[in-house]
Structure 1
């Protein structure tokens, strides 16, 4: 069995840490409008009727693909695995999508820290030791952080 690997990216944010966390917890449907260069679409999945991220809620997201053609999008279905409001942390687990062709498991955790940083942690298990690390996805996250931060500051959140 392949070992569990971890990659982390952390960026400073200038908006309110509570607003940043609330955006991802309750307003993720705005992601295509806020950072359309990374997130093309997002939708509710499997009968979910609320955008609020609660444990077990499922969504489908289309993000910029790691393929060489920048005009393609990658569909990913995920479930919210855990939500910790006290530490402003949400963990998403990939259920379906091209990512699972390379990885046995793939989860992403956002934690908004009291030191005004947005920290994303990717935990993954490669199916094949020769598979690439998910660096492409890790490199998208600072763009997401920056665009959400600018959006929240410019809209007085």
Structure 2
């Protein structure tokens, strides 16, 4: 693979003094495919993730009467990804809702509804933004239930692999 540069950032976000602070972590990687194609892949073709990136995404499915793979605000899906607790031989299942979509900014925000991460965090959201600078930027925002809970670094480190494999897939299937 060509030079894959990852940029990781961490920013604490304090919302209210009486609550545990929300934290934010960001990973950003360059992409070589069309930024429009990359964004459309996650907006309309996420069902291909297990085929494109099977080492990370085991399965993805429609739930709660959803009949379309197109991400719209309120659509719900379930995804099974590589498990942090396993020795890379099992997967964790998470149910999420698409909380926000901004086509102009090429940004999609997903909020976790069910899954083991909610045992550690009160809130857990993931945002993908495909920038005009040909980067795919993933932001995880979370609020720990306990100050001793671990940061979700394992999950953050999966995004560069996802970005790279989707980028390669889109470049190899570009007509």
Query: If the TM-score is normalised by the length of the shorter chain, which range does it land in?
Result: over 0.9
Where does the alignment leave 5 or more consecutive residues of structure 1 unmatched?
Answer: none
Where does the alignment leave 5 or more consecutive residues of structure 2 unmatched?
Answer: 1-18
Runs of 4+ in 1 over 3 A off after TM superposition: none
The corresponding residue for 1:101 is 119
TM-score, structure 2 as length reference:
0.89
The corresponding residue for 1:85 is 103
Q: Supply the distance in 2 between the matched residues of 1:42 and 1:17 (Cα, whole angstroms).
A: 23
Structure 2 residue 129 is matched with structure 1 residue 111: yes
- Structure with the bigger RCO (C-alpha within 8 Å, sep 6+) is 1
The corresponding residue for 2:71 is 53
- Structure-to-structure mapping, 1:1-157, within 5 angstroms: 1-156=19-174
TM-score, structure 1 as length reference:
0.99
Q: Supply the distance in 2 between the matched residues of 1:64 and 1:134 (Cα, whole angstroms).
A: 13
- Aligned length in residues: 157
* Aligned CA-pair RMSD: 0.7
Looking at CA atoms only, which structure, 1 or 2, has the larger radius of gyration?
Answer: 2
Alpha-carbon deviation of 1:70?
1.1
Q: Supply the distance in 1 between the matched residues of 2:162 and 2:151 (Cα, whole angstroms).
A: 20
